[in-house]
Amino acid sequence: MDIFLLQANPVSLAEGTTSASYLPIGIQFFFALGFVALVLGVTHLLGPKRKTSDKLSNFESGIEGVGNARQPMAVKYFLVAILFVLFDVEVIFFYPYAVNFKALGWEGFSAVLLFVAFFLIGFIYIIKKGALAWED
């Protein structure tokens, strides 16, 4: 009998959603766009417009610019930057574990240990390959 009742009354997750329920989000979106356009327009109209040679020159932390900015950089710099981003993103995955620490129990703890093991294996591999050795 229960199976028949479940089949006779299917419940949809999107049952109460219509296009009218998105109206407040659309109104807020258009108000945000209008506010940004208004602020940009007002600052453009009211802001000072004194273009001097000092203001148009490049500024590098108070140091005069030397040489060409288009000279090639070492690939090592980009490699270290990419590795930093890679390992930094991996650390972000610790947050859900920290939030659900008690609920995950020993199974979650072993999964995090396995994750850290893969993390350390990758880090050791990078050190053995010399990716972090900075030579000129």
Query: Tokens 């093991």 sit at which residue?
Result: 117
Could you name the CATH architecture of 2-129? Up-down Bundle (1.20)
Domain residue spans of the chain? 2-129
3-state secondary structure of 88: helix
d(CA 110, CA 114): 6
The pLDDT value recorded for residue 68 is: 76
Confidence band of 44 (pLDDT split at 50, 70, 90)? very high
Single out the residue of 136, 130, 128, 119 nearest to residue 79, CA to CA. 130
CA dihedral 104, 110, 113, 115 (to 10 degrees): -80
**pLDDT tens digits for 11-22?**
444 566 787 888
**pLDDT tens digits for 50-97?**
888 877 777 667 777 777 777 777 777 888 888 888 888 888 888 888
CA angle 130, 82, 109 (to 5 degrees): 90
Q: What is the pTM of this model?
A: 0.42
Single out the residue of 81, 80, 113 nearest to residue 94, CA to CA. 113
